[in-house]
Structure 1
Amino acid sequence: MASTTIQTAKAVLRKKCKNILSSLSESDKNQQSDIISKKLLSLPEFQDSNRISIYLSMDEEVATDQILKHIVRSKKTCFIPHYSGPSMKMVPLRSLEDYENLPLTKWNIKQPSDDDIRPDALETGGLDLIIMPGLAFSLAGARLGRGKGYYDAYLKRCYEHGYKPVTVSLCFHQLLFDNIPVIPGSDMFVDKVLYPDAADLMDNINILR
């Protein structure tokens, strides 16, 4: 499939995903985020990792605030994205107070200000685990991003520096597809996709009752 055809297929799927997201209630997103967070925290790859990068979630994404707090409280080193123009680096978060004091970007996401210079994780020892965001995923690990390519480029930089972090993505069950259009050699797959299955959702409903 030609690259332009794949890009068109991605655009169509992004629109479909955004329609799905707009139909999800806050309670549904919160319920799923809670289940997914517990799955991540119990994952051996997470427990064995000391240097972890995590995206700071927007309203339409699986919430990561509780995961971030767990990373910091567990004395692991937490890294968060810092976007600048077309590039992204992963910078250290010093504490929960540091997180609370970060300014908001135009996307309503916290990140250090441009004059708050922090080293990239690749300059200080790399990363053990990257929690990668996305709009949709497949069980095979294909990922539909938002079209900027930040994480694909960063993961390639990790490999160039000799680091091979485990990659995990968090997915609402409505946004798990059999197939995701990908551009070979450009779009990076993730190692694991965590999502609530039917049994998880039913168990959670029973607990709430």
Structure 2
Amino acid sequence: MIRANKRALRKAMRATLGELPAEDIQFQSQVIAAKVMALPAFQNSRTFSCYLSMPTAEVQTTSLILDILANKQNKLFVPTVVPENDHMDFVRLHDEQDLHGLPSGLWGIPQPTAQWNNEKRQSDLDVILLPGVAFDRSLSRLGHGKGYYDKFLSSYTAAAKRPRPLLVALALQQQLLDAGSVPITDTDWKVDMIITPNDIVTKENLPKDSAKA
């Protein structure tokens, strides 16, 4: 039942997002990027992950990525799908030239190579900026159905007892739904924060019955 509900919500949300003008998505993305850069938690961190956005239907991240790269103290990592075992890892993106040189991969998303200038890309993350199809005000996230982020987070936090990164979801206003609208299972990770043009949703401003992670 939950799987069917997820499929139905993905279909409905994709229809909604498909009707948004590109100009609206770009405007919302710029507002969101400014809010992310102003976050104290973001300013106090140095190791980030940010997804490379699809051409349409989600928050665009190119300007945000360039802002992160502009600070030479920052390290930026981006997701890549490993085809041999169909799982996701995060690899370092070094500079703007590196970004523009990435080949196109699945869904038109730039796909990092395993190495850069003969240096292996490696990840160790403080903040992860996540995409998604839909989110709700109880901090639940609906992904695209592959489970890449949920599997990565489970293995990442278990490895060497790493601390849990801060999970920040970036959402167009149309992607943020009322609490309880996104169906989840025990293996679905909730996020710590959702940022839209009009909202910053955190555990601190949730209703008490929605605050469980």
User: What TM-score results when the alignment is normalised by the length of structure 2?
Assistant: 0.84
Deviations along 1:100-147, one digit per CA (max 9) or x if unpaired, are 1111114211122357673431xxxx2100001101101221000000
* Structure 1 residue matching 2:60: 3-state secondary structure: coil
Question: Where does residue 204 of structure 1 map in the other structure?
Answer: none
CA shift for structure 1 position 26 = 1.0
| Percent of residue pairs identical | 35
Cα distance in 1 for residues equivalent to 2:174 and 2:92: 32
Counterpart of 1:24 (choices 20, 26, 37) is 20
Query: Is the 8 Å Cα contact of residues 115 and 121 (structure 2) preserved in structure 1?
Result: no
1:61 is aligned to 2:58: yes
1:145 is aligned to 2:146: no
Cα distance in 1 for residues equivalent to 2:94 and 2:26: 27
Cα distance in 2 for residues equivalent to 1:94 and 1:174: 32
Question: Where does residue 163 of structure 1 map in the other structure?
Answer: 163
Q: How does 1:14-93 map to 2 (within 5 A)?
A: 14-58=10-54, 59-75=56-72, 76-85=74-83, 86-93=86-93
Question: Where does residue 104 of structure 1 map in the other structure?
Answer: 104
Counterpart of 1:12 (choices 8, 12, 15) is 8
Cα distance in 1 for residues equivalent to 2:109 and 2:144: 15
RMSD between aligned alpha carbons? 1.6
Query: Is the 8 Å Cα contact of residues 89 and 120 (structure 1) preserved in structure 2?
Result: no
Structure 2, unpaired ranges of 5+: 200-213
Question: Where does residue 127 of structure 2 map in the other structure?
Answer: 129
Cα 1:95–1:55 change in 2 (3 A) is same
Give the number of aligned pairs.
Answer: 189
Query: Is the 8 Å Cα contact of residues 55 and 133 (structure 1) preserved in structure 2?
Result: yes
User: What TM-score results when the alignment is normalised by the length of structure 1?
Assistant: 0.86
Cα 1:176–1:78 change in 2 (3 A) is same
Cα 1:36–1:115 change in 2 (3 A) is closer
Question: Where does residue 173 of structure 2 map in the other structure?
Answer: 173
* Structure 2 residue matching 1:78: 3-state secondary structure: strand
Structure 1, unpaired ranges of 5+: 199-209
Show structure 1 runs of 4+ deviating over 2 A: 112-120
